[in-house]
Amino acid sequence: MSSEKYKVIIIGSGPAGYTAAIYAGRATLSPLVFAGPEPGGQLTTTTDVENYPGFPDGVQGPDLMVKFKAQAERFDSVVLSEEVDSVDFSKRPFVVKAGGKDYLGDSVVIATGASAQWLGLESEQRLRGRGVSSCATCDGFFFKEKDVVLVGGGDVAMEDALFLARVAKSVTVLHRRDALRASKIMQERALANKKIFFMWNTEVVDVLGSEAVSGVLVVNNKTGEKKEISCQGLFVAIGHKPNTGVFVGQIDLDEKGYIATQQQTRTSVDGVFACGDVVDARYRQAVTAAGSGCAAAIDAERWLEEKGDAGK
């Protein structure tokens, strides 16, 4: 059975993947994009996006990603909803397997993103985008002068707590242990902030509210005592997991599972590039992901030119 061959295969369809497709398409590379089971990435679960340039009145996350997709398709990108099952980067052309078929690529751009780790509560998932968030810098503005709860104890959690304290009326940090995991300087900053309060050995067992968050039910894991905390927002800051499982053993990953890059977007395999949240554990913003998607497409185009493959 013959396999379809492309100059560029893009795996992932968030801001990074679609931007890479736009740039590759405009370079007449006609990329193939694997959108996966959740086309658009994390933005499809976000309601109001007010910090993406060009939308002064804000835009709904799903609507923004529909625009991204339409723009990519305008420039001859082929978008498939298939999920990639496996890859073979051992030789060129690279092999990407999806839906029982083999697809060949002269180059590959990986933009599979990262997924927030959640508490695993039904109510948490039901109220995502309605008071439950995993991104303080994205959604903190909507909780101006409101009471919010944040779950976590690491550096990212403390950064989020300090950010939220600038806008919220109060920030209650819940940590399942009796001491923070964050670095000493981040602990000191958070503990010194008069708007940040801490509850130790405490875990969320339910998120309260029907249409929007009205509070959380928590339990002390030492005493078993339960209590309700009134709040209008719940921020979960217990980490992100990069979506790199399919690439294990194919390219170099760092100790946290993110794709290791050098010279901007190049991976350990010549001709394979990576962009967006799958390489970025720090910023995790739509605009930074889009920017790195642009860079990856340009790097892939120039690499193909160097190999003499761009026009074939």
Model confidence over 154-179: pLDDT tens digits?
988 999 999 999 999 999 999 999 99
Token pair 């492309």: residue: 6
The Cα 6–Cα 120 span in angstroms is 39
User: Is residue 45 very low, low, confident or very high in pLDDT (cuts 50, 70, 90)?
Assistant: low
pLDDT at 41 over 80: no
For range 112-116, the mean pLDDT: 90
* Chain segment 6-18, per-residue pLDDT in tens: 999 999 999 999 9
The Cα 32–Cα 283 span in angstroms is 27
**Right CATH number for 118-236 from 3.40.50.2000, 3.50.50.60, 3.40.50.1820, 3.40.47.10?**
3.50.50.60
CATH C-level class of 4-115+240-307? alpha beta
Residue 220: phi and psi, rounded to 5, are: -80, 115
Task: Give the ranges where 168-269 is alpha helix by DSSP (H).
Answer: 184-192
Mode of pairing for the β-strands spanning 272-274 and 101-110: parallel
The Cα 190–Cα 192 span in angstroms is 5
The structure's pTM equals 0.80
Would you say the CATH fold of 118-236 matches that of 4-115+240-307? Answer: yes
Per domain, the residue ranges of the chain are 4-115+240-307, 118-236
pLDDT at 215 over 80: yes
What residues are annotated to the active site?
A: 135, 138-139
Q: Which residues contact 262 (CB under 8 A, 6 or more apart)?
A: none
The Cα 257–Cα 212 span in angstroms is 34
Token pair 């799903």: residue: 62
